[in-house]
Chain A
Amino acid sequence: MSINNKINVEQIKLSVENLDLFYGNNHALKKINIQIPANQITAFIGPSGCGKSSLLKCLNRMNDLISNIKITGQITVDNENIYDRKQDVTQLRRKVGMVFQKPNPFPKSIFDNVAYGIRIAGIKDKEKINNIVENSLKRVGLWKEVENRLQDSAMSLSGGQAQRLCIARTIATHPDVILMDEPTSALDPISTQVIEELILELKESYTVVIVTHNMQQAARISDITSFFYLGELVEVNPTNKIFTTPENKLTEKYITGRFG
């Protein structure tokens, strides 16, 4: 394992500048500035309600669905402002995919789940769809387990399998960035480990941002860890640094479990 004490800012994939987010009067994110480098795993940690999910959902504009929300500041993906008027949201979400806390397969067949994203993107070629589905399932290590029952309902999968299916479904649309909101919190340790390994592999081709409550998980898989508290970004540093010598007292307190 390489020891990394500086953030490698060579290639910034996502950049958040002066982001403020309000739910009605609730100032949920305060002047957030963070840069997320390409092909690295960035973890968001912090106590419940500190705004991790809120920030994550800004990154692919999933918050657009919420009424009474106000967002100011700027977020760029590949130097393009995603809150620009001209931005096509569906296009953005294909580029910045998302995996959720609870595995949420559609009540459709395993095949149709993975094919969903590319079909709605307008791909009709059967051959191509078959290939993408197969490759995506292979990528998440699910192919062997389901190749003989692709037409079965995805609801018949175990939690860990279902979550891997959801990841396969996301990578089938070939995003650049994958956002994950506590992707293993509903899973057993073995499935968690499988998914952690998978995330580590994904980083070769994708930029991964993961919210996790499991500090060990952040420590194990992420390159960069950012600590949030009460809507503020307290500290961003290489994971190795955060977990050995955090700069901020609050981070130290949180990481050593002496909070509150």
Chain B
Amino acid sequence: MLKVEKSVLELRKTLEEMTDIVISIVDTIRTCIKKENFETLEFVFQQDRHIDDLEKKIDQQAVALLALINPMASDLRFVFSVVKLNSDLERIGDECKNVAKELKTLEPPIPEDLKILADKVYEMVKDAVNALLNQNSALAQEIILKDDEVDKLEYSIQKKYSNSIGIAFAAKALERIADHTTNISENVVFATEGIDIRHENSIMNRLGKSDK
């Protein structure tokens, strides 16, 4: 195996550790909401330090890789995208903590809408990680499309439950998690195809460009 391949693989392994944890805490959040049972929420807080450490480790590995191996083209784009989506992953962890904090203030029953939102967000995170680890641009693009649904759902929750700060905040945090998965997906598209689709106005425009 080439040195560059080895180094990229090592980076990937750390990345996988990170995504495993991120998925598990988002899953915890989802399950807690679904089952209206907050006993396992502690897990989310426990993982926080772990995530922070991994974030640092990924950055260190990436910097070393850039400095020592001088990756080019797709390797370069992969490393660059990992550096960027690394912080999105860490922020997902933070947002999970925020959701958990809000959940602790709530008493069941939990509104059905929030359960649906949590489900959707979980699916998005899972897909984003899947797209990332398999460098699947098509999947990443689908996730970006889903973001709108989440935004709408969150908006309606905000309206409906404006009297319950806990629910509104939890929905807001879940929506932010979805935003981070969009960022991750954008980075996956960049890594795989070399196109930067951020800040494009319409979704059609974004994806039209990546049709090539």
The residue in A216, A252, A257 that gathers the most chain B C-beta atoms within 10 A of its C-beta is: A257
Q: Given A244-B76, A245-B77, answer yes or no on A257-B194 (Cβ-Cβ < 8 Å).
A: no
- Size of chain A's interface in residues, with CB distance under 8 A? 13
Chain A residue nearest in CB terms to B76:
A244
Q: Which of A215, A252, A257 contacts B2 (CB 8 A)?
A: A257
Contacts of A216 in B (CB 8 A): 70
The residue in A246, A255, A256 that gathers the most chain B C-beta atoms within 10 A of its C-beta is: A256
Main secondary structure on B side of the interface with A = helix
Is B72 in contact with A215, judged by CB distance below 8 angstroms? yes
Q: Given A256-B4, A257-B2, answer yes or no on A245-B71 (Cβ-Cβ < 8 Å).
A: no
Q: Which of B2, B4, B5, B77 contacts A244 (CB 8 A)?
A: B77
Q: For the complex, what is the distance from the CA of A156 to the CA of B198, rounded to whole Å?
A: 57
Contacts of B71 in A (CB 8 A): 256
Q: Which of B72, B193, B194, B195 contacts A256 (CB 8 A)?
A: B72
Interface size class of B (residues with CB under 8 A): 10 to 19
Is B73 in contact with A246, judged by CB distance below 8 angstroms? yes
**From residue A216, how far is it (CB to closest CB) to chain B in Å?**
6
The residue in A219, A245, A258 that gathers the most chain B C-beta atoms within 10 A of its C-beta is: A245
Say whether A243 faces chain B, with CB atoms less than 8 Å apart.
Answer: yes
Chain B residue nearest in CB terms to A215:
B72
Chain A residue nearest in CB terms to B194:
A245
Q: Given A244-B194, A245-B194, answer yes or no on A255-B70 (Cβ-Cβ < 8 Å).
A: no
Interface residues of B in 61-75 (CB under 8 A from A): 70-75
Is B70 in contact with A252, judged by CB distance below 8 angstroms? no
Q: For the complex, what is the distance from the CA of A248 to the CA of B77, rounded to whole Å?
A: 16
Q: Given A216-B70, A244-B194, A245-B194, answer yes or no on A256-B77 (Cβ-Cβ < 8 Å).
A: no
Contacts of A219 in B (CB 8 A): 72
Q: For the complex, what is the distance from the CA of A22 to the CA of B2, rounded to whole Å?
A: 35
Q: How many A-B residue pairs have CB under 8 A?
A: 32
Q: For the complex, what is the distance from the CA of A251 to the CA of B72, rounded to whole Å?
A: 11
Q: For the complex, what is the distance from the CA of A111 to the CA of B59, rounded to whole Å?
A: 53
- 1/0 per residue, CB under 8 A from A, across B189-205: the answer is 00001110000000000
- 1/0 per residue, CB under 8 A from B, across A161-196: the answer is 000000000000000000000000000000000000
Interface residues of B in 2-18 (CB under 8 A from A): 2, 4-5
Q: Which of B4, B77, B193, B195 contacts A257 (CB 8 A)?
A: B4
Chain A residue nearest in CB terms to B77:
A244
Contacts of B4 in A (CB 8 A): 256-257
Interface residues of B in 47-67 (CB under 8 A from A): none
Interface residues of A in 211-257 (CB under 8 A from B): 215-216, 219, 243-246, 251-252, 255-257
Chain A residue nearest in CB terms to B80:
A244
Interface residues of A in 86-117 (CB under 8 A from B): none
Is B75 in contact with A256, judged by CB distance below 8 angstroms? yes
Contacts of A246 in B (CB 8 A): 73
Chain A residue nearest in CB terms to B195:
A245
Contacts of B2 in A (CB 8 A): 257-258
Contacts of A245 in B (CB 8 A): 73, 77, 193-195
Chain A residue nearest in CB terms to B3:
A257
Q: For the complex, what is the distance from the CA of A251 to the CA of B73, rounded to whole Å?
A: 9
The residue in B72, B74, B77, B195 that gathers the most chain A C-beta atoms within 10 A of its C-beta is: B72
6 contacts between A and B (CB under 8 A): A219-B72, A244-B76, A252-B73, A252-B74, A256-B74, A258-B2
Nearest 8 CB-CB pairs, A to B? A245-B194, A255-B72, A255-B73, A256-B73, A256-B75, A252-B73, A256-B72, A243-B72
